[in-house]
């Protein structure tokens, strides 16, 4: 029997129109989008469906928007394949909140509310600092870590072999990019982002996020939920909040987390929500793993058919 992990996207996966065809096609989706309007008190679904893009890109809309569309995708897949239950979950940065909700550690309503607050706090931290990020392609972790130490930036995302994101003060990013190229990176490209995510420059968001998380009555996850900070499953309910606060300034150890699941015998991974970045990372980590995604009606149908063929 294959073991299945549900994967959930992080910020950057958003795109105008996400979730719209799901809402038009399925009553369950329409109901969840209506629930989101009620919980948040504003029309987030319309921002997801129609934009404008600058509004969707705002962190306090992008984060709950991705959470919402990812949740809808999961619910629709399980509606179509009632026997499908994850044996573990994981999510990239923001997606870790979706993964925890999917595992029953918090409710849909709590996840939606706290991701909006997290987005707001992180946006304000970005505005209070001058931060930037860059993608480094074709350089392994050791040399990239040396580049960071030499130039005063941080490893933000360890996504998959040969793809790392660095983060830090905006004036230090050009030197880090040039140093990475000098060490043999195939490419090193500054990213168009609001700030230095997953670096010490985000620290001002942490106490406010901790206060928001204190209002959530976390439950023990029903299945393992891989932490970005440790690349291992979260512990009991009482430890979850602290790890999520640490995550704001810690490196996202995505590749290590996926390797943990692979070592535990997971062979099937389903990415739920906008984009296909996590599927791409997985194929770079282990080409033999089965990878599916659900982001719209077409991909839902394809995944349902594939699961039917593969059992």
In order of their start, the domains of the chain are 3-127+200-310 (3.40.366.10), 130-190 (3.30.70.250)
Specify the pairing of strand 163-169 against strand 154-160: antiparallel
Rounded to an integer, the average pLDDT of 82-87 is 95
Query: Distance between CA 309 and CA 311 in Å, rounded?
Result: 6
pLDDT value of position 236: 95
Name the active-site residue from 198, 227, 250, 251.
198
114 pLDDT higher than 90: yes
258 pLDDT higher than 70: yes
Query: Distance between CA 122 and CA 59 in Å, rounded?
Result: 7
List, for residues 13-41, the tens digit of each pLDDT value. Answer: 999 999 999 999 999 999 999 999 999 99
List, for residues 170-212, the tens digit of each pLDDT value. Answer: 999 999 999 999 999 999 999 988 899 999 999 999 999 999 9
pLDDT value of position 7: 98
The secondary element (H helix, E strand) that includes residue 55 is helix 53-57
Name the active-site residue from 70, 93, 199, 227.
93
| pLDDT grade for 1, boundaries at 50, 70 and 90 | low
- List b or e across 86-106, with b for residues whose CB sees 16 or more CB atoms inside 10 angstroms: bbbbbbbbbbbbbbbbbbebb
Check residue 293 and report its DSSP letter. E
Residues, the chain = 311
Task: Kindly write down the DSSP assignment for every residue of 263-294, as one continuous string.
Answer: HTTEEEEEEESS-SHHHHHHHHH-TTSEEEEE
Using DSSP's 3-state secondary structure scheme, residue 250 falls into: coil
Q: For the chain, what is the radius of gyration of the CA atoms?
A: 19
| pLDDT grade for 2, boundaries at 50, 70 and 90 | confident
CA angle 82, 72, 47 (to 5 degrees): 170
Query: Distance between CA 272 and CA 110 in Å, rounded?
Result: 19
List, for residues 205-219, the tens digit of each pLDDT value. Answer: 999 999 999 999 999
310 pLDDT higher than 80: no
Query: Distance between CA 134 and CA 137 in Å, rounded?
Result: 10
| pLDDT grade for 308, boundaries at 50, 70 and 90 | confident
Query: Distance between CA 261 and CA 284 in Å, rounded?
Result: 15
Name the nearest CA neighbour of 274 among 48, 46, 117, 123.
48
Rounded to an integer, the average pLDDT of 99-106 is 98
| 198 in catalytic set | yes
- List b or e across 31-52, with b for residues whose CB sees 16 or more CB atoms inside 10 angstroms: ebbebbeebbeeebbebbbeee
């Amino acid at each position: 029997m294959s073991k299945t992990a549900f994967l959930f996207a992080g910020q950057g996966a958003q795109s105008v129109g996400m979730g719209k065809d799901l809402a038009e096609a399925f009553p369950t989706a329409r109901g969840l989008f209506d629930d989101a309007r009620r919980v948040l008190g504003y029309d987030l679904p319309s921002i997801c469906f129609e934009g404008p893009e600058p509004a969707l890109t705002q962190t306090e809309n992008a984060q709950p928007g991705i959470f919402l569309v990812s949740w809808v995708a999961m619910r629709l897949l399980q509606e179509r394949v009632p026997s499908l239950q994850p044996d573990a979950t994981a999510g990239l940065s923001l997606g870790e909140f979706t993964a925890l909700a999917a595992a029953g550690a918090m409710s849909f309503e709590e996840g939606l509310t706290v991701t909006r607050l997290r987005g707001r706090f992180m946006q304000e931290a970005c505005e209070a600092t001058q931060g930037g990020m860059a993608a480094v392609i074709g350089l392994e972790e050791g040399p990239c870590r040396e580049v960071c130490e030499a130039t005063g930036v941080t490893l933000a995302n360890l996504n998959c072999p040969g793809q790392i994101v660095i983060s830090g003060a905006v004036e230090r990013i050009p030197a880090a990019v040039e140093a990475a190229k000098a060490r043999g990176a195939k490419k090193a490209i500054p990213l168009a982002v609001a700030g230095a995510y997953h670096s010490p420059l985000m620290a001002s968001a942490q106490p406010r996020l901790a206060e928001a998380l204190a209002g959530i009555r976390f439950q023990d996850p029903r299945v393992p939920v891989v932490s970005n900070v440790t690349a291992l499953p979260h512990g009991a309910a009482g430890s979850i909040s602290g790890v999520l606060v640490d995550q704001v300034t810690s490196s996202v150890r995505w590749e290590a987390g996926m390797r943990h699941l692979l070592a535990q015998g997971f062979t099937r991974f389903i990415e739920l929500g906008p984009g296909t970045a996590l599927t791409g990372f997985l194929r770079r980590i282990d080409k033999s793993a089965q990878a599916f995604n659900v982001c719209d009606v077409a991909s839902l149908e394809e995944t349902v058919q594939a699961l039917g063929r593969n059992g």
